[in-house]
Chains A and B, each alone.
Chain A
Amino acid sequence: MSIWVLRGLRDGVVTTRWPGRPDSYADGWRGPARALGPTDAIDPGLCPTGAISAQGIDQGRCILCGRCVAERPGLFAWSQGAAGPVTAGLCRDALVVPEPPETDEAVEAARARLRARTAALRRSVHIRHVDAGSDGSEEWEIQALLGPVYDIGRLGVFFTASPRHADVLLVTGAGARGMSGALRTTYDGMPDPKVVIAVGTDAVSGGLLSESEAVTGGVAATVPVDVWLPGSPPSPFGILNALLIAVGQL
């Protein structure tokens, strides 16, 4: 066994110092597409999920396929950085960029409500994850938070098996109808105050899987969502950022 003690020391500290210090991988991350100019003359068929409209781009629908960026490079670009207020929204409308002006107030109101609710959670947060029809990649990225690079334990955040011990519910997937009951039971089993994060474009809007016989097209149809995190899948930094927003640490 002693061999593992030495191996554990081999690479020194590999853990990111984010959010205390900037992290170049987080800053260089390619996020959902954004519009550089008016989008009212764009053929809506350009986007496979219909995220582009005259109002701009709904990042909650963006699956980061990059088609708009490749075909209209002057008008669309990737957003940069995995962690920042633009990458996770406190209300669904805020993911539509450029946002309609009234959403600023709505976001502030949502932030204030969330802060009031989660004041007790700041230093020790327990998470329960539920898969409501993901493609499997979001689970990998959430799992990465437990690894040595992101190591969420250093921030006082832990995963728990029981919903009874959980403060935060991470939901992935397009909202499979087969999971609606189990998801609702898990949510109901959590004590107040509780926060729900929709992780990934699928969880936010269904992504390519719009509402159908099999999915509800996003998890908000089953549980009330507090933080909306687009991405297909979102990067571990994005998930970490959404977690910190949810418990009022950012």
Chain B
Amino acid sequence: MTVTQAGAATVWDELAARVAAGDRFAGLSGARPAGGPLVLSAHLATAGGIDTLEVPLPPGAASYPALTPRLGAAFWYERVIHDRFGVVPDGHPRLAPLIRPGPPEDYALPRHVTGYGIFTIPHGPVRSGVMEAIEYLVETPGEAIPHLNMRVFYKHRGVIERFAGMTQADGVLLAERAEGIASVAHALAFCHAVEQVAGCQPPPAAGLVRVLHAELERIASHLDVAVRLADAAGLAVATARFALHKERVQRLVSALCGSRFGRGVVVPGGVATLPLLPPARIRAEAGRLRTAITADAGALMGTSSFLDRLRGTGPLTPARARQHGALGPVGRASGYADDARIARPYDGYWSLAVAQAPVHAAGDALARLRVRWEEVDQAFGLIRQAAEELAERAGDPARLPCEPVRGRAAGWAEAPQGEVLYDVELAGGRIARCQPRSASFHNLVLMHEVFSGDILTDFPFIEASFGLSVAGVAL
């Protein structure tokens, strides 16, 4: 991990210059190493890895010059720093609580849009349907949505604080539960960081098993988005069909490892055990699923009443996607592709052929769904390749010893929602600091900006098309 330290002004200048030159802003977080003064760590995703730039604040500092005015993508990150440490970023546009519920008087929000007949619909945190807890405050004259506000703090669980002091083996279990629908990706990112510290390279067979689970997770997650979109459009049969496919994918995952979410598979140094099904069986099952899913996806993308609801809905412009560094399918649907599997490969992705993810420029809900179908198809291709290679590697060990004592590293993995990034520091064989950053956190803030011209009935489509999990946001 390349870490450079400097004063805030110098580091912010460098960040802004490097982002303008093509690097991607990947996160900003704070920590108090050994209980000392606060140190801010900014992460930049480059062509080959993650660079970390640090700003140590003077002891007792109550504020620092905000990064957000220079780099808008830091908006939510600096609010989290304010929530967790009480340090004020000077010049930040709005320091309302983001992940920590504050006293009730802090809950009152001024309306952004004023005018005749404008009112606010508070939607959440208990919403209709089976949803995660989040509150949307929709400012509307009745149909259009000139402004949307979000409160994500309701389900804050203190995950970051919980990591401190855990053993590495326990840390993986918590990482799996940081964002439950991306368990494998979070476990991978955590383990990659630990392995980086140890200088440990997992055995090739383990790398292939990791790919199998990561790609099955991607397929299940994208199918979930398809279920929610079809449900929003009232297509009862399509909803049932994709729910059936998703159930079958989850059952395949549970046949491989006993958990429907691939939990307990990824461990530092490799995988806990090899799949319970032989590779040929995995190939055959995945092949059957692929045929069935492709046919239904084709039918969905040929249903004009459905496409009409998605076309032009919730557009994110390519310029904004690039500026923010939008991750995963949201970025790729708006012409911005930074896929960790290609740009910073890990595990089996080194040897498997991951094609450059297709890029669309429309940026609407339809483009996001198209990207997801292409990713599903690609994932099935990767599963087939990985299963074939795995068959040739019978006899490989599943894991190598990997128990580093001290050090710090960044680890990453491409979750269904986009890149997950972990900044892990170990001391005395335990976790001194673990800062997860989910793709959901990075992308959700963009939902503020995509309602131009859309109306209340478009809301479920836009929310579903982002495909994010609140658990990974409020941590």
Contact = CB atoms under 8 A, between A and B. Distances in A.
Interface string A178-197: 11001101100000000000
Contacts of A48: 169-170, 173
Interface residues of B, number: 59
B237 A5 contact: yes
Contact of A161 (B128, B247, B251): B128
Given A1-B303, A141-B260, A134 B154 contact: no
Interface string A146-182: 1111000000000101010000000001101111001
A177 B157 CA distance: 8
B308 interface: no
A208 B178 CA distance: 11
Nearest to B235: A4
Interface in B232-255: 235, 237-238, 240-241, 243-244, 246-247, 250-251
Interface stretch (A6-14, A111-119, A219-227, A241-249): A6-14
Given A161-B129, A214-B161, A147 B155 contact: no
Interface residues of A, number: 63
Nearest to B151: A178
A130 interface: yes
Interface in A109-141: 128-141
Interface in A194-243: 202, 207-209, 212-215, 232-233, 235
B39 interface: no
B159 interface: yes
Given A8-B237, A134-B180, A139 B154 contact: no
Interface stretch (A52-60, A63-71, A94-102): A63-71
B224 A147 contact: no
Most chain B CB within 10 A, of A11, A14, A182, A214, is at A214
Given A64-B263, A182-B125, A209-B162, A133 B244 contact: no
Most chain A CB within 10 A, of B159, B161, B235, B296, is at B159
A18 interface: no
A227 to B, nearest CB: 18
B34 interface: no
Interface in B308-323: none
Interface string B170-196: 100110011111010000000000000
B155 A179 contact: yes
B240 A148 contact: yes
A149 B101 contact: no
A70 B169 CA distance: 13
Interface string B65-84: 00000000000000000000
B180 A137 contact: yes
Nearest to A151: B240
The 5 A-B residue pairs with the shortest CB-CB distance, nearest first, are: A214-B158, A137-B180, A135-B180, A161-B128, A147-B243
Given A25-B251, A178-B156, A213-B161, 5 more contacts: A48-B169, A139-B132, A178-B155, A178-B474, A209-B157
